[in-house]
Chain A
């Protein structure tokens, strides 16, 4: 197969690219590829793997013959190795899946390159960051909220399944979510099955909830029916309150609250809860929303949409997304997680690169720094 190319004066040809190997829900073996631009120091795209784990990434021939003999090599096999194909010889297909195994992340992380070669010539480089594994424990709480003279009901979330997905998301960044046994509690607030986020201070229901059966040195995640108090037209489905945030608002403890749904709305997909919980854990690790943009002035580009720390967890509408619906973008579901969820939910990427024009980026580094800090994240 030949490559046809029109040329006007100067044409730059980049034969290959890298991308996530599957287009479905997050799992433990198919990480996102951070390919946001090609600036120093990485130039190429970046993917991460935890020391001792093996993940699959996809290389794709965009302007290169499928028959061209390519070989994948690691620039330092003491940092990562290519598990498959073991001899490095890539298949003669447009898309080529490669498994890499993290060998040694050093004291925190090490980065080397996966080079795709034709003969001796390097056609493409994928940067592979190997993270030393850090463990962060999470204690799930199933909270029944009585109120208004009525007895509440326990949340419906499949907590075990949700926690597994959360592990899948954060595991790619060397952060192991240690899931503690689920604890059940009943509280009484103003409205049955609902915790009100107003007032958001030490005397409010949120603070009371975060003080319920608190387990030290873990992230306490409280599963509830609903979270009231959102701005008109919006539904709050999760709150992630880091130690600094809790202190700033006079609350008893940091923690996470995750709702089954809102007025007239109930979740049904495990991934929907998991995405929100993973997002709130990001806040617990002091991550901010993408470029700290808040509704309604949120970022509306496709890249922000791919990120776990995008502030909106879903867009209304179905694929193809209508442009500018509710003044929301993107027009494309480019999250890498398929259309199975139908409603254009945000992606799960935690950024590895740091684009210089962004104030908040390199989220994996920030998260790990918080965990590694003397005070820890709790």
Chain B
């Protein structure tokens, strides 16, 4: 784990880059032929670096690339400068939710979106825009609005295929930039397949959900499956939804006719399955233990991809942590978002090692924080500096601290999370009960046994609200 982290050159809120550990090939021994024969030696494909863009840079369940992705393209430009002759290939990935075909399409579309951006292929974006290929990935008005907003265009008239060419081109020039904010692009000839195939064989592919970087334990998956609200599941699964660009050793050459991956547009998964590990079924199961690629090395079903990314710093599950801080006028979940939340308020997010981000709170008061694990973050808002530190886990529900923690998470003011019930904790429990149409008894069971846990009813109520 630590050796992988040390190889990460740079990270952003939505991705990272890294050099791959050097690989030493075993010496090749050549024996003389005895007849009119020849020996054939073929170098294995060797990857030298990687770039990853995370799910957060795409619209939810979509292949549309948001404007914040500019930060990751700057990293890509830096990496490209370091490895100018390394051929590239793009790999899109989905999370292990839904079916293989759907995820093959979505992961392929995300790979195509990146390829189109880098090569300024507006025709490819028009395909993505106009044909959702039977999945939910409809760019639609939202994408047009995002692009126009990013470009400062106030025009709201409907677009045509003709006007979209210009819009796409301008947007690509705006977000696909280098560290000097100048447009950055990669010619098709610099990809591994050299753009030889119209469908981008060797240049880009969608790996469906075959290569997740983390797999829930069975218990985790069962818990998520039981939750009606899939927000927590989707958040936990976010590291799996990613796009990688692998940099191959300069001089690497492929025969696209023998390339093992189907094209990014091909919904067929037969070629993928042909390259699966023999124990792929087990790898794809939710097993007793939670697994992560850079620790257990058994989450990728495709052995071809597994080999390409062996030791890659871009294929870790815990490089990024995501959480929300929601500013509200009153505690709990009552009322509408705009009644409860302090929305549209400007804030600055400062994360160690990342550029400052200035934005506005969402309608419900949300500030979404995406940061590398181990970084420090502060949110400057309302004349106040909030030093936020993410926690991996929280205290058990059957402890007083666990109840205090959850009350605090809901915005009540239970006082110090210290395991001691005082007036603030007592008052917060009463407010929790009032807000959820429960008898406001302050949890009599706990009160008559002050060192004991809160009642199962209180624990269940908190669990229903927080999911933990």
On A, residues with C-beta under 8 Å from B are 2-15, 17, 35-40, 43-44, 62-65, 67-69, 118, 121-125, 299-303, 323-324, 327, 329-332, 334, 355-358
Contacts and interface: CB of A to CB of B under 8 A. Distances in A.
B354 to A, nearest CB: 17
B135 interface: no
B390 A2 contact: no
B441 A301 contact: yes
Given A7-B389, A43-B339, A68-B382, A38 B435 contact: yes
A324 B328 contact: no
A326 to B, nearest CB: 12
A2 B435 contact: no
B401 to A, nearest CB: 12
B93 interface: no
Contacts of A331: 421, 426, 447, 450
A11 B409 CA distance: 5
A143 B390 CA distance: 68
Nearest to A44: B330
Contacts of B323: 7-11
B326 A12 contact: yes
A3 B409 CA distance: 15
B258 interface: no
Contacts of A121: 342, 344-345, 382
A2 B334 CA distance: 28
B426 A334 contact: yes
The prevalent SS among residues of A at the interface is loop
A123 B447 contact: no
Nearest to A64: B384
Nearest to A116: B329
8 contacts: A2-B384, A7-B325, A14-B413, A118-B382, A124-B330, A324-B448, A329-B447, A355-B440
Given A332-B422, A332-B426, A324 B325 contact: no
B447 A13 contact: no
B331 interface: yes
Given A38-B331, A301-B440, A7 B391 contact: yes
Of A4, A9, A121, A355, which is in contact with the most chain B CB atoms at under 10 Å from its CB?
Answer: A9
10 pairs of A and B residues whose beta carbons are closest in the complex: A37-B434, A68-B383, A12-B411, A301-B442, A65-B384, A2-B385, A38-B330, A14-B411, A8-B391, A118-B382
Interface in B61-98: none
Contact of B434 (A5, A6, A7, A36): A36
Interface in B45-74: none
Contacts of B426: 302, 330-332, 334
Of A40, A303, A358, which is in contact with the most chain B CB atoms at under 10 Å from its CB?
Answer: A303
B435 A39 contact: yes
Interface of B: 232, 235, 323-332, 334-335, 339-340, 342, 344-345, 369, 378, 382-394, 405, 408-413, 421-423, 426-427, 430-431, 433-435, 437-442, 444, 447-450, 466, 468
Of B330, B393, B448, which is in contact with the most chain A CB atoms at under 10 Å from its CB?
Answer: B330
A189 to B, nearest CB: 41
Given A68-B384, A331-B447, A9 B235 contact: yes
Contact of B387 (A2, A11, A68, A299): A2
Nearest to A4: B387
Contacts of B325: 5, 7, 11, 13
A10 B438 CA distance: 24
Contacts of A355: 434, 440
A204 to B, nearest CB: 36
A328 to B, nearest CB: 10
Contacts of B410: 12
A10 to B, nearest CB: 5
Contacts of A300: 441-442, 444, 447
A243 B187 CA distance: 93
A330 B443 CA distance: 11
A17 to B, nearest CB: 6
B329 A65 contact: no
Contacts of A301: 430, 440-442, 444, 447
A303 B393 CA distance: 32
Contact of A6 (B339, B389, B433): B389
Nearest to B448: A324
Contacts of A302: 423, 426-427, 430, 442
B331 A12 contact: yes
Contacts of A334: 423, 426-427
B389 A303 contact: no
Given A65-B382, A301-B442, 8 more contacts: A5-B325, A13-B386, A37-B433, A43-B340, A118-B383, A121-B344, A301-B441, A357-B434
Nearest to A39: B334
A11 B323 CA distance: 8
A295 B326 CA distance: 44
A334 to B, nearest CB: 5
B326 A10 contact: yes
A357 B439 contact: yes
Contacts of A303: 427, 430, 440, 442
B337 to A, nearest CB: 12
A127 to B, nearest CB: 11
B384 A3 contact: yes
B440 A36 contact: yes
Contacts of B439: 357
Nearest to A62: B413
A69 B382 CA distance: 8
B448 A38 contact: no
B327 A15 contact: yes
Contacts of A324: 447-448
A164 B351 CA distance: 59
Given A14-B413, A37-B431, A65 B383 contact: yes
B435 A9 contact: no
